[in-house]
Amino acid sequence: MTRLNPKGQRNGHSPNPISTVMKYSINPMIYTNMFPVPVCIADEHIRSASLPQMKIILWLFRHSAQGEISSKEIACAVGLYESEVDDAIRYWTDCGVILSAGADTASPSSEAQADEKSAVRAEAQSTEPEKSRIVERIHINPPTHQEVAKRCAESKALRELFLTTEQSLGATLSCSMQGVLVMLHDDYGLSVEVISLLVEFAVSQKKATTKFISTTGRQWCEKEIDTIDKAMDYIEAVSSADRYWREFCEKTGVKNPRPSKTQSEFLHAWINNMNFSMDMILMAYEEMADHTDRFSFPYMNKVLVSWHKNGITTPAQAAQAKKEHQEKLSGKKGKASAEEKAPASYNLDAYTKKAFANPLNILNKE
């Protein structure tokens, strides 16, 4: 039988530790300034929404009276990247909490909208419209978050594409990047293998952004770069142009680290279509520098196109053609100078006979 000591403690045992239970309550003084937040934000999205998404929606409700607000302003205010803001806005738009311009406030649920858009996409694909129309339509209507989730549940290939893309980028895919990958596969018609090459190309160019991958995928669709061989040829052409650009900059002193889009197209044409060497491109640069004070790729292109038409493929041939051209110009100038120095002679008798033989008729116009 256990006995209690005068203090109410069991003999032979130390007193039980007292467990502290913390209780929390809202400070009533902060209710002086409030703004309304819908119940659905706390009831439906408190578990599914990420921390950035919750931060942004609270900030938007607080500043809803300001009217239109840019992603950059929101990013600065909440301490996030602009891309994270865009992803969060897209999440709340897909959920129907935020409406895009011109949207109906009595719109159906997000799942109904996703099913409707999927049906429209399936109908458009079954009719097989022209690629240009497909590209334009997709550019206006990108896939929603619900569509992406639905397609990933249906397609093992897309799930594997997401995994390999995360490995290539070294980061978790954002909602917008997931949408772009689905768009490239389902609507642009690019295979998983081609898309993976596109992602690796973007990483190699240090442009692994949603915008670059989306834009490049659109270009590949328009140019029908839809096989592994075509994609490899495109990547090799761009890579060779970059190598030639670096060599060109080293030998000419041009400071631009990367060529512009137009300059890349010129380099691609000179190297891959006309088969010119760097020595020939540098000679064209010298021709441009001798005749204009401005750095002009179009001027260089005129020189190289002229050489290509005339079958000039080596620096020796170009130098010989230039020498012959200068001699030809010198000959014309010498002949013109001789004619200018020759005395003028007029045969008045011959002129008189010709005038009488062919009288000048003057018509009186009344």
* CATH number assigned to the domain comprising residue 61: 1.10.10
Domain C-terminal end among 104, 122, 152:
104
If asked whether residues 116 and 194 sit together in one domain, one would say yes
Distinct helix (H) and strand (E) counts, the chain: 17, 0
Tell me whether residue 1 is in a domain: no
Q: Is the pLDDT of residue 195 over 90?
A: yes
Tell me whether residue 352 is in a domain: no
Tell me whether residue 94 is in a domain: yes
272 SS3 class: helix
If asked whether residues 186 and 275 sit together in one domain, one would say no
> What is the torsion angle, in degrees rounded to the nearest 10, for the CA atoms of residue 286, residue 288, residue 290 and residue 293?
-130
Place 24 in a pLDDT band, splitting at 50, 70 and 90: confident
If asked whether residues 240 and 316 sit together in one domain, one would say yes
Structural domain total, the chain: 3
If asked whether residues 237 and 257 sit together in one domain, one would say yes
Q: Is the pLDDT of residue 207 over 70?
A: yes
Whether the full predicted model's pTM is greater than 0.75, yes or no, is: no
Tell me whether residue 331 is in a domain: no
Cα–Cα distances (Å) from 336 to 82, 325, 327, 342, in that order, read: 69, 17, 14, 10
If asked whether residues 215 and 231 sit together in one domain, one would say no
If asked whether residues 211 and 231 sit together in one domain, one would say no
The sign of the torsion formed by the CA atoms of 325, 331, 335, 340 equals positive
Task: Give me 76's structure tokens.
Answer: 């600065």
Tell me whether residue 90 is in a domain: yes
Domain C-terminal end among 175, 207, 223:
223
Judge contact between 166 and 156, C-beta under 8 A.
no
If asked whether residues 142 and 196 sit together in one domain, one would say yes
Which tens digits make up the pLDDT trace of 174-184? Answer: 888 888 899 89
If asked whether residues 57 and 147 sit together in one domain, one would say no
**What is the mean pLDDT of the segment spanning 130-143?**
51
Tell me whether residue 23 is in a domain: no
Which tens digits make up the pLDDT trace of 241-272? Answer: 778 888 888 888 887 777 777 888 888 888 88
Judge contact between 109 and 96, C-beta under 8 A.
yes
Residue 328, number of CB atoms within 10 A of its CB: 10
Tell me whether residue 357 is in a domain: no
Q: Residue 275: which domain range? A: 227-326
If asked whether residues 87 and 58 sit together in one domain, one would say yes
Domain C-terminal end among 104, 120, 139:
104
Report phi then psi at 343, rounded to 5.
Answer: -70, 145
The sign of the torsion formed by the CA atoms of 208, 211, 215, 220 equals positive
Burial of 284 (0-12, 13-18, 19+ CB in 10 A): buried
Tell me whether residue 114 is in a domain: yes
If asked whether residues 192 and 153 sit together in one domain, one would say yes
